[in-house]
Chains A and B, each alone.
Chain A
C-alpha cells in the first residue's frame, strides 16, 4: 500500500564511526493514503492499575513504564517491531570492546518548558537513579547495564559523582562500563533510564511529578492526575518530533478488573482494551469480530519453580518427572485459553540474539513423556506404598488458581502424586521463599535479551528453587559480557532443561484485544509490548 509519510526529515546522516554506529530513521506516525483524520484527536486507554510513580527513577512496574514512554523520551527508543531507533541521541558509538558508549544528542531537543536537553541532564539523571537517597526500586536494572562504579554507588560505598557517565560537551554523553555489555544500548530504551529535569526536581522534591510542577521531554505532558480515577496527558509542543505527533490528548484509566474495563469499553469510554476477561473471550470473538485485534507474542514466560534443596523435589528425577507429566496443550487450550503457547524452556524463543535449541523432551509425544515420567518417579522410589506428596504455593490470583488446579490434577493422574495447593495473598506469596516444593513463577522481559530471563536462576537470583550452579553462573556472565552469547545462552538454557529447577509452562501467543475501528497506528507488534502513543491517530468516524 502506498503510504504517506508525515516525516519531513529522516535521520540519514551517514556516520562512519568506530565500532557500532547507529543511523536508523527516527519514529514517525504513518497514516495510510486516503485516511481522513478526526477533528478530535483524543484517545482513552486502560492502564490496568494506578501507577506507583511517574518519576523515571521511581517507576517499578509495567503501568508506570507504559505512561513513562509517553511522558519522557530517552537517548534511544523502539519502533513497533522493538528495534532500537534514535530518540534524544541521533547516533552513538561503542568503543573499547563495548566498554565505552558515546552518544551524540540532537540539538533541537527541548524539555516541556522549552529548556534545551543537554548531556548534563543525563549525567544528573543517571547519578540520581543510582544514588541511595533516591531509593529507586529499579536501581538494580541500571546496575545490570554495568555502568562503571554503579554497584558501589548503589550500595552507598561511593559518591554518585564517581558513576561512569560524563558530559563530554553539551551534546555528547559518554558511558564507561565495568564490563563489556553488548546490549547496553537496548537497555537505554527502558523508561527507568530516561532523564529528568534537574531544576524541577531540585525545586519541588518528591512533588515534582504533580501536574502543576512536572517538566518532561516526551511527546506528551501531564495535564491532570486524579489518583485512582485517571491521568490526562496532552501533546507536548516542545517535543523534538512534535510535528509528527497527531494525538492531542491521551487519557489513562487505572481500571484493574478486566470485566469492569470491558463494560467501559462497551459503553464507549475506553478506545483500546488489551486485557480481556477470559470468561468472555468466546462471546467477544463472536459479537465484535471487527474490533478484535491480535497482540503479537510478547516476551513473557510462566513457569513453576521447584525446590532443589528440600523435599522430594531435591531429587532431579522427581523434578524431571514433574516437568514431563504436564500436558501443556491442555493448559493453554482449555485453562488459559487466550492463544498461549506451550513452553519447554524458560526463555521465549523470539528474544533477540538467542537461537533456542528445543529440549529433547519437547519433541516427544505426550504419551511418551508421561511414560518417561512414570519410569522416573518409580526409579526415585515412589509408588503405591510411598506416594509422592508435594506442597505447592501460589498467589491468590484467579488465573493462577485455575492453572495450579490443572497441574495438581495432571500430577495426580500421571504420577499418583498428592499435591496440596496453598493460595496466599500476593504480598505474602512474594515473601514466601521456603517451606514448599513448588512455587508459581513468571517473568516479563525488561529488555530484549535472554539474560533478562536466565538471570532469574543464577545463584544471586535468590529464587525459591535455591538453584546454585557455578557453571551456569559462569556461562551467564560470559554470555552477557562477551561474544558468542547465543551459544552460551543456549548452553545455559540446556542446563535448566536438564536440572529442572523450574517447570516451564507457557508464554503468550497471539492474544485477543479490543480496539475501536477508528483507532489507527496502534500496532501490537512490539515484542516487549512497548507501545508509543506518538504513533497513534484517530480516524474520522
Chain B
C-alpha cells in the first residue's frame, strides 16, 4: 500500500506541472485583458499595471515566476481583487464551499443510496417508478432553476429561511444552498445505486443466500451493499471534489461567498492568478481523491487488495 501511494504521489508532481503549464498558456492565449473596460487605459497607466503583474515579460518567464512562487505556497496576486492575494481569497472562500459541500455530499450519499437501494429492492414496482421519477426530476431540474424556486418558496413566500448570505455558517443560511447543491447528486447517486444493486441482487451468491432462507435485510446489508457500492465509489471520488470546490450557481444565487463564483468570475474577468490558483487546487484534490478511491476499492473488494 505504501509503495502504491508513493508511486501515485510521484506521478502527481509531473501531472500537476503539465496542468499548470497548459492552464497558464490557455489563460494567456485567451483574448481580452484583465484590465480591459469601457474606456481604454492610457498606455502609461496600462504599462504601470502590467509591470506590477509581470505581464510585460514573456509568457514563459511569467510561468517560471509563477511556478517559483507556487513552490513557496504562494498563488500570487489576484488581477482583479487588488486588496487580496489569491491564497487569501481561497483561504476565505474554500471553507464556505467545503462546509456546504460536505453537508450536501452527506445528504446526497445517504438519500441517494437509500432511494437507489429501495428502488432496486422493489424493482419495477410502483415505489420504484415513483422514486426513480423523483430522481430523474432531480437530474433534469438544473440547480439554477431549483435555487430561485427554493428562494421564492421558503424565503419570500413562507419566510422560514434566509434567501441568501452565509453569516459565518449559521445553519439557517445553509439549508437552501445545501438542498439545491445536493439534489442533482441525490438523483445521480440513486440511479447508479439502483443499477448496481439490481445487478448484485441477481448474482448467484445472492440467490444462494435467498435459498438459504436468510432475511432480506441481512442479505442486503451483509452481502449486497458492499459490492453494490463499487460503481458508486468510482463516481463519488470526482463528485466529491466537484461538490466541495464550490458551485457558481449556488454562490451566485445564495451569495455565500464560496469558491465557485471566484472560479467562473476569474475566467470571465481574466483574473489569471485566481484561475490558476483554483485550477491547481482542483487538480491537486482530483489527484488526491482518485488515489483515495483506489484505496477504497482495495478496502471494499478483497480481490483488488490481493492482486
Q: Which of B83, B148, B152 has a CB less than 8 Å from the CB of A210? A: B83
Q: Are A229 and B37 in contact (CB under 8 A)?
A: no
B162 within 8 A of A: yes
From residue B297, how far is it (CB to closest CB) to chain A in Å? 37
Contacts A263-B151, A267-B151, A431-B31 given; does A229 touch B48 at CB 8 Å: no
Q: Which of B32, B45, B165, B261 has a CB less than 8 Å from the CB of A140? A: B45
Q: Are A427 and B36 in contact (CB under 8 A)?
A: yes
B residues with CB within 8 A of A: 31-42, 44-45, 47-49, 51-52, 77, 80-85, 89, 92-93, 96, 148, 151-152, 155-156, 159, 162-166, 251-253, 255-258, 261-262, 268-270
Contacts A263-B152, A267-B163 given; does A427 touch B268 at CB 8 Å: yes
Q: Are B32 and A428 in contact (CB under 8 A)?
A: yes
A residues with CB within 8 A of B: 50, 52-55, 58, 60-61, 132-137, 139-140, 143, 151, 154-156, 206-207, 209-210, 226-230, 253-257, 259-260, 263-264, 266-269, 425-433, 441-443, 456, 460-463
Please give me the residue from chain B that is nearest to A264 by CB atom: B163
- Residue among A54, A210, A429, A431 with the most chain B CB within 10 A? A431
Q: Are A206 and B48 in contact (CB under 8 A)?
A: no
**Total CB contacts across the A-B interface at under 8 A:** 154
Q: Which of B31, B38, B48, B261 has a CB less than 8 Å from the CB of A154? A: B48
Q: Chain A contacts of B38 at CB under 8 A?
A: 430, 441-443
Please give me the residue from chain A that is nearest to B32 by CB atom: A427
From residue A299, how far is it (CB to closest CB) to chain B in Å? 14
25 contacts between A and B (CB under 8 A): A55-B82, A133-B52, A134-B48, A137-B41, A137-B49, A140-B41, A140-B45, A155-B47, A156-B48, A229-B255, A229-B257, A230-B255, A253-B165, A260-B255, A263-B148, A263-B151, A263-B152, A263-B156, A263-B164, A264-B163, A267-B155, A267-B163, A269-B162, A426-B32, A461-B40
From residue A494, how far is it (CB to closest CB) to chain B in Å? 23
Q: Chain B contacts of A426 at CB under 8 A?
A: 32, 268
Cα-based distance from A354 to B147 in the complex (angstroms): 48
A-B CB proximity, top 3 nearest: A229-B257, A427-B32, A430-B36
Q: Chain B contacts of A230 at CB under 8 A?
A: 165, 255, 257
Cα-based distance from A58 to B49 in the complex (angstroms): 11
Q: Are B165 and A132 in contact (CB under 8 A)?
A: no
From residue A427, how far is it (CB to closest CB) to chain B in Å? 3
Q: Which of B35, B255, B256, B270 has a CB less than 8 Å from the CB of A137? A: B35
Q: Are A55 and B262 in contact (CB under 8 A)?
A: no
Cα-based distance from A499 to B152 in the complex (angstroms): 51
Q: Which of B33, B85, B255, B258 has a CB less than 8 Å from the CB of A255? A: B255
Q: Which of B33, B39, B82, B163 has a CB less than 8 Å from the CB of A443? A: B39
From residue A226, how far is it (CB to closest CB) to chain B in Å? 5
From residue A298, how far is it (CB to closest CB) to chain B in Å? 15
Cα-based distance from A210 to B88 in the complex (angstroms): 11
Q: Chain A contacts of B163 at CB under 8 A?
A: 263-264, 267, 269
Q: Are A154 and B82 in contact (CB under 8 A)?
A: no
Q: Chain B contacts of A228 at CB under 8 A?
A: 93, 251, 255-258, 261-262
Q: Chain B contacts of A462 at CB under 8 A?
A: 40
Q: Are A227 and B45 in contact (CB under 8 A)?
A: no
